[in-house]
A and B are shown apart, each in its own frame.
Chain A
Amino acid sequence: MANKSEIIVSEDEVTEIGLIKRVHQSLIDFKNADHSGRVDKLGKVGLFIPAVASTLIIILILAFLWIESATIFGDPRGGIGIIISPTWDPNRDLFGIAIFIVGSLMCTGIAIGIALPLGIGGAIFLSEFCPMRLRQPLKMIIEMMAAIPSIVYGLWAYLVLVPVIKNNIAPAVGSDSNGLSLLAGGSILAIMLLPTIVTISNDALQTVPRSLREASLALGATQSETSRKIVLSAALPGVGAAVVLSLGRAVGETMAVLMVTGNSLQIPYSLFDPTYVMTSIITNQLGYAFVFPLWRSALFAVGLILLIMSICFTITAKLFIRWGMKTRGYL
């Protein structure tokens, strides 16, 4: 494949003769070309401009995040230590963002703890045991769940889930929580992650060759043993990629989590304690912080950490896929 595309591209190949000469040469070419040749050349330029523009925008976003957050990392009152410092008090120039990182990780941990077993179970059901007639409607519902805006999930969690936790669950375990808690944030996140995990894992399970299942069944294994020990382990890289991608989504979720976690500056010690996540602090304080360079820069540093997390998740997902290609040869 790669070879073929190179052959096609190679007609555009220009020997290294300096930029000005190249532009001049292509202008002469343009003058000499017939109508379709001119359209061809104009079309190439017409595509080149959007390509450069969109690439520039991507680079611009990365550069801006870096430049904006460089202030706090270079300042003696900030420095790289803010990542492990737990005190956030902009009035006293204390910009420790550890609480937010811990809050985000705990929220994500709870969400993934709920969503992972359910999601993989659902994917196995959908791909192995689901009656044909139910499969299409179920898939459609799950795709629709993925499309529902996060603010709508947030609205539902705020109006339904939080009161349920306040009135039913918290008293049952002897807590006087007001419902805005780590548990509420984790559960709504889990609900939002489920479609991602189910869809991608289901795709991975579907690519496992039929012959593997048939061989296992022929050896006398039951259907559940086949699905658990053969199909799931054959599709493990794809399932892993699904989980990592959904992790990335969980850490970056903004509105739903903001509305139900209570946003209090403390590290939560129980499921019913309120917490503060990274995306929430940016949403809540960027408006006020904008005229204070250090405060604003600290918030952009939180954004930079979110970006670094996203890079890690993307790399891990790619590694999972490469692992699958290497050991399974299909994915």
Chain B
Amino acid sequence: MIELETPIQRFIARIGLHEAMKSRRQFTDYLFKILLGVVMIIIVSPFFLVLFQVAGVGFWQVFGTGPGQGLEFFTTFPGSGLQGGIRNAFVGTVELITIASVVGIPLSVLGAVYISEYTRPGIGREVIEFTSDVLAGIPSIVFGAFGFAFLVDFLHFGMGLLAGSLTLAFMMIPTIMRTTQEALRQVPMSLREASLALGATKWSTTWSVTLRAAFPGVITGVLLAVGRVMGETAPLIFTAGNSLSVPVELTGSGSWVASMPYTIWAYVSDPSAILQDKAQGTALALMMMVLAIDLIANIISRKVTRRLV
């Protein structure tokens, strides 16, 4: 394959039409490339369509200066007639994600370290890996149903902050476990052997050699999982409830909590035009938060590949 390092213009000139006219095969080749270019444009166009639609309306909600817009969009409660901002949803999402991360990340990362480093490869480990693969693929609403049946009903937590954030934590566990194991597998065995040969204990080898080498990969997986969970609506419908103010307790009736995805859903189902605009503003804010997390993960993982190469 020819190295295509030239700019587009020279690229087009090189496979220009006069070249393509030489034979039927050359012409097919030319058409095929143009077709693929068009396909690529079709693939990326929804991104811009979604972005422009959401940003076109939402921009004035998030950055405007009117009542309930701009900074007020995040700092005021909806109030009567839902005219105000989305402080309830913003604070709710932050609280849900914080508790979910505090519970979910240590459990899954440390658990994955134990499974990869301390157990022998065999049937048991493969079964755990397979089940976490399966669980990473099951629909988010099934996690919601599980959270409802187990946390809300069986353990009598009731809907609210704790049930909602634990459900989100459960969603994180399979994903983070798999990415952590993958990152640990990338660490060369020679590093561990060198450390053990120097007389380090298994623990200090794992903690300060293996885990440190795998750290960027682990952090990337964690960030991606957090970003994914942040945008989930379905697990929260039955576990977190909804509220027009911020929760004041962990369980019980005062703990019902709104979240940004749920607010988008609730507002967009409402025929009122103001609420639809607010839904798009919320969507823009949520998208910016998720994309920011994704970008950080991207930068970290790129740094890793550069260092390894």
Chain A residues within 8 Å of B, Cβ to Cβ: 1-2, 4-6, 8-9, 11-12, 36-37, 39-44, 46-48, 50-55, 57-62, 64-65, 68, 117-119, 121-122, 124-126, 128-134, 138, 140-145, 147-156, 158-160, 191, 194, 198, 210, 213-214, 217, 222-226, 228, 245, 248-249, 251-255, 259, 279, 282-283, 286-287, 290, 299-300, 303, 306-307, 310-311, 313-314
Contact = CB atoms under 8 A, between A and B. Distances in A.
B111 A37 contact: no
Nearest to B3: A132
A259 B173 CA distance: 28
Given A226-B1, A286-B145, A303-B142, A149 B290 contact: yes
A134 B12 CA distance: 14
Given A43-B206, A54-B108, A149-B230, 5 more contacts: A6-B121, A57-B170, A65-B142, A155-B283, A310-B134
B280 interface: yes
A223 B119 CA distance: 48
A160 B137 contact: no
Contacts of B119: 9
Contact of B118 (A2, A9, A65, A225): A9
Contacts of A131: 4-8, 11
Contacts of B203: 39-44
Label chain A's interface by main secondary structure. Answer: helix
Given A4-B189, A6-B120, A300-B149, A152 B286 contact: yes
A147 B135 contact: no
A314 B134 CA distance: 6
Contacts, number: 296
Contacts of B134: 307, 310-311, 314
A51 B110 contact: yes
A287 B279 CA distance: 23
Contacts of A126: 40
Given A48-B114, A286-B148, A314 B40 contact: no
Interface in B270-292: 276, 279-280, 283, 286-287, 290-291
A255 B36 CA distance: 31
Nearest to B127: A55
A125 B128 CA distance: 37
Interface of B is mostly: helix
Interface string B26-46: 101100110111011011101
Contacts of A153: 50
Interface in B95-114: 106-114
A158 B43 contact: no
Interface hub of A5, A37, A148 (most chain B Cβ within 10 A): A148
A257 B69 CA distance: 30
Contacts of A36: 201, 204
B180 to A, nearest CB: 11
A306 B286 CA distance: 28
A255 B204 contact: no
Given A47-B114, A147-B227, A255-B265, A40 B140 contact: no
B174 interface: yes
A55 B126 CA distance: 12
Contact of A224 (B32, B44, B117, B146): B32
